[in-house]
A and B are shown apart, each in its own frame.
Chain A
Amino acid sequence: MTTTHVAPTVQKLADTAYRLRERMMTMAADKGEGYIAQGLGIADVLAVIYFRQLRFDPANPEWIGRDRFLMSTGHYSIALYAVLGELGILDDELLATYGLNGSELPMSTFDETPGVEITGGSLGHGLGQAVGMALGLRLDGGDQRIICELSDGELQEGSTWEAAMAAASFGVGNLTAVVDANGIQADGPMVLDMEPIAAKWRAFGWAVEEVDGNSIEQIVEAFDRLAVRPDDTPRVLIARTTPGTGVPTIVARDRAHFVRIGDAEWQNLIAELEENRG
């Protein structure tokens, strides 16, 4: 049986995003650290992608007919693990090992983890593989779609633009890129200005939508608009997200790329998440 999404309500998706954030907080609290800010930021986007857009079977993550989600920013793995936990593909016991010595859930994704399509984290690898997958599935006459997540910092990798050129040139309309534009990279706020991001993608021949990536309503509507674009046009959703969304103390942090927080404080932050539940 495949999961087909009978248009869950915005409220239902918001509830899902909340649970994803809860799961991430639990995973990070166990370690005292993690790429939690990005994870919290992209939770709404992932909720819409996995619980409204993608076609897959949680009981059979390898089902050949599935749509593919590629997380190119492998260091956001905590967010992907939260999704896979929510789907029952990864169990709670395994999730608790996130980032530990020898864990099957490394801090940067590894494609041997069930439900994880590619090894991410060496940035600039995702979109090219997404183009290859889109071409291969199209060659077989399948109607599967590829959604490939990228980040704004990752747009600094030249290989991403090589892939963007190829996608438009090969007319892979079964590919949607999602750029998590959260305005941070390892050295702090955007080291190189990547704006105007939307104009760059348009110039490369892509259909573009740009939304508040923490508004589920906007994300849903943007995917709907992209869905009716011509079949030979690759699509990109630029999602403006706020790192740490849901936990104001993390949002307020200057250095949110990698978050380290003392044991005691995590409980306060989890309480904050609950207080700010939408």
Chain B
Amino acid sequence: MAKLDDRAGGMGEIADIDGPYEVAPFGTELARLGEIDERIVGLSADMSKFSDIIPFRDRFPHRYFNAGMAEQDAVTMAAGLAKVGKVAFCATYAAFLTRRALDFIAVSCAHSKANVKILAGSPGLVNPYGATHQSLEDLVVLRSIPDITVIDPCDAVELRHVVRTAAETDGTFYIRNLRGKVPVVFDEDGFQFEIGKARLLRPGHDVAVIGTGFMTERALTAADAAAAQGVSAAVLHVPTIKPLDTEAICETASAVGRVVVVENGLRVGGLGSAVVETLHDAGIHVPVLRIGLGDRFHPCGSQAYNEARFGLDDAAITEAVISNRWEFA
């Protein structure tokens, strides 16, 4: 009989929060912005609760449209609303958006540079339901679409800033949404988010860890652990996957001569690939270890379970940062 501790868990909240957190940073920020900017409308595809857009819906019911279980329609309606002057925030699960509604994101939104902001919930390996609900390839796929901005925020503070920036900036955005209780990693005071800019969070001279999304928090943890063992690890946070801050990546990699990339998604085609391409194109020949997910459908399981099993947890990242290991078993 299964033990209680073996349960895979709920609807994609980030697991194991030890430190400070905020509840529903996306929806809270969107409701706040809705007071200031009447152009903002919200949409979902029967995922209002699980995409944290409820605070906006409750505050502005007449500006909220639930398309039902119809991601293609949610995206095209968002495009139509945008084309008559609205700023359309469309929030549902990343897996359904990127696998089912990809053509609609590409053609109805990005190709028209429509003012549509897609908030993709349960990104990467977060969702416990198994392959159908996991969005392992979203960054890979979205990165290939022209005229779209792709952002993977690290924490609640950054997510709020990203939502605000997206509301104020024309064009189609794909934003990985962190829902429920979302950790606070960054200090709100003086926090800055700029589209297309990476931030060096920690200097170091032996190795650079380049991270995106909430994996950057783990990069910081790994850097602490490495420091305790005499390894100096720089941490570069890359929230914007597209446009990519190639300059910061090249500078950081050149300075340390060894790079570990960490991301919550496939190793093939995501940030790790983007870093390798960037360095190669610039003629910077440093070894790059890509920590991410392998070419397989991943099983049902809690975030902690899957991350430990597939090498995304603190221990795995720390080991990669400290060791000189350059290939996966």
B79 touches A132 (CB 8 A): yes
B76 adjacent to chain A (CB < 8 Å): yes
B73 adjacent to chain A (CB < 8 Å): yes
A132 touches B72 (CB 8 A): no
Contacts of A132 in B (CB 8 A): 76-84, 88
A119 touches B75 (CB 8 A): no
B186 adjacent to chain A (CB < 8 Å): no
Contacts of A130 in B (CB 8 A): 80
Which of under 10, 10 to 19, 20 to 34, or 35 or more describes the interface residues of B? 20 to 34
Contacts of B73 in A (CB 8 A): 128, 131, 159, 162-163, 165-166
B76 touches A136 (CB 8 A): no
Distance between Cα atoms of A59 and B169 in the complex (Å):
29
A6 adjacent to chain B (CB < 8 Å): no
Q: B70 contacts which of A125, A135, A162 (Cβ < 8 Å)?
A: A162
Contacts of A135 in B (CB 8 A): 65, 77, 80-81
B104 touches A125 (CB 8 A): yes
Quote the shortest CB–CB distance from B108 to chain A (angstroms): 5
B68 adjacent to chain A (CB < 8 Å): yes
What residue in chain A is nearest B76 (Cβ atoms)? A128
Contacts of B80 in A (CB 8 A): 128-136
B62 adjacent to chain A (CB < 8 Å): yes
Give the residues from 112 to 134 in chain A that come closer than 8 angstroms, CB to CB, to chain B: 117-119, 122, 124-125, 127-134
Contacts of A124 in B (CB 8 A): 72
Contacts of A140 in B (CB 8 A): 84-85
Given contact pairs A118-B112, A137-B84, A162-B72, A131 touches B107 in the complex (Cβ within 8 A): no
A170 adjacent to chain B (CB < 8 Å): yes
A136 touches B81 (CB 8 A): yes
Give the residues from 104 to 158 in chain B that come closer than 8 angstroms, CB to CB, to chain A: 104, 107-108, 111-112
B112 touches A119 (CB 8 A): yes
B290 adjacent to chain A (CB < 8 Å): no
Given contact pairs A118-B112, A162-B72, A165-B70, A133 touches B107 in the complex (Cβ within 8 A): no
Which of under 10, 10 to 19, 20 to 34, or 35 or more describes the interface residues of A? 20 to 34
Given contact pairs A125-B104, A135-B77, A166 touches B67 in the complex (Cβ within 8 A): yes
Distance between Cα atoms of A128 and B79 in the complex (Å):
8
B86 adjacent to chain A (CB < 8 Å): yes
What residue in chain A is nearest B43 (Cβ atoms)? A132
Distance between Cα atoms of A139 and B79 in the complex (Å):
15
What residue in chain A is nearest B84 (Cβ atoms)? A136
Quote the shortest CB–CB distance from A21 to chain B (angstroms): 29
Given contact pairs A125-B107, A132-B83, A136-B85, A163 touches B76 in the complex (Cβ within 8 A): yes
B63 adjacent to chain A (CB < 8 Å): yes
Question: Could you give, for residues 160-200 of chain B, a 1 whenever the CB lies within 8 Å of some chain A CB and a 0 otherwise?
Answer: 00000000000000000000000000000000000000000
B103 adjacent to chain A (CB < 8 Å): yes
Distance between Cα atoms of A165 and B112 in the complex (Å):
24
Quote the shortest CB–CB distance from A74 to chain B (angstroms): 10
Contacts of B112 in A (CB 8 A): 111, 118-119
Distance between Cα atoms of A165 and B76 in the complex (Å):
13
B76 touches A125 (CB 8 A): yes
Distance between Cα atoms of A139 and B70 in the complex (Å):
22
B83 touches A128 (CB 8 A): no
Among B63, B78, B108, residue most surrounded by chain A Cβ atoms (within 10 Å): B108
What residue in chain A is nearest B88 (Cβ atoms)? A132
A61 adjacent to chain B (CB < 8 Å): no
Given contact pairs A139-B63, A163-B76, A163-B77, A129 touches B83 in the complex (Cβ within 8 A): yes
What residue in chain B is nearest A131 (Cβ atoms)? B77
B53 adjacent to chain A (CB < 8 Å): no
A159 touches B41 (CB 8 A): no
Q: B83 contacts which of A127, A133, A162, A166 (Cβ < 8 Å)?
A: A133
Contacts of B81 in A (CB 8 A): 132-133, 135-136
Question: Could you give, for residues 139-176 of chain A, a 1 whenever the CB lies within 8 Å of some chain B CB and a 0 otherwise?
Answer: 11000000000000000001100110110011000000
What residue in chain A is nearest B62 (Cβ atoms)? A139
Quote the shortest CB–CB distance from B291 to chain A (angstroms): 36
A136 touches B72 (CB 8 A): no
Quote the shortest CB–CB distance from A205 to chain B (angstroms): 14
Given contact pairs A128-B76, A130-B80, A132-B80, A119 touches B107 in the complex (Cβ within 8 A): yes
What residue in chain B is nearest A124 (Cβ atoms)? B72
A166 touches B107 (CB 8 A): no
Quote the shortest CB–CB distance from A122 to chain B (angstroms): 5
Contacts of A129 in B (CB 8 A): 76-77, 79-80, 83, 108
Q: B108 contacts which of A128, A158, A166 (Cβ < 8 Å)?
A: A128
Distance between Cα atoms of A125 and B111 in the complex (Å):
12
19 contacts between A and B (CB under 8 A): A111-B112, A119-B108, A124-B72, A125-B107, A128-B72, A128-B73, A128-B77, A128-B80, A129-B76, A129-B108, A131-B76, A131-B77, A132-B84, A135-B80, A136-B80, A136-B85, A159-B72, A159-B76, A165-B70
- Interface, chain A (partner B; CB < 8 A): 64, 68, 111, 117-119, 122, 124-125, 127-137, 139-140, 158-159, 162-163, 165-166, 169-170
- Interface, chain B (partner A; CB < 8 A): 41, 62-63, 65, 67-68, 70, 72-73, 75-86, 88, 103-104, 107-108, 111-112
User: What 5 pairs across the A-B complex have the smallest Cβ distances?
Assistant: A132-B80, A128-B76, A162-B73, A129-B80, A132-B77
6 other contacts beyond A68-B84, A128-B72, A136-B83, with CB at 8 A cut-off?
A111-B112, A119-B108, A125-B103, A129-B83, A132-B83, A139-B62
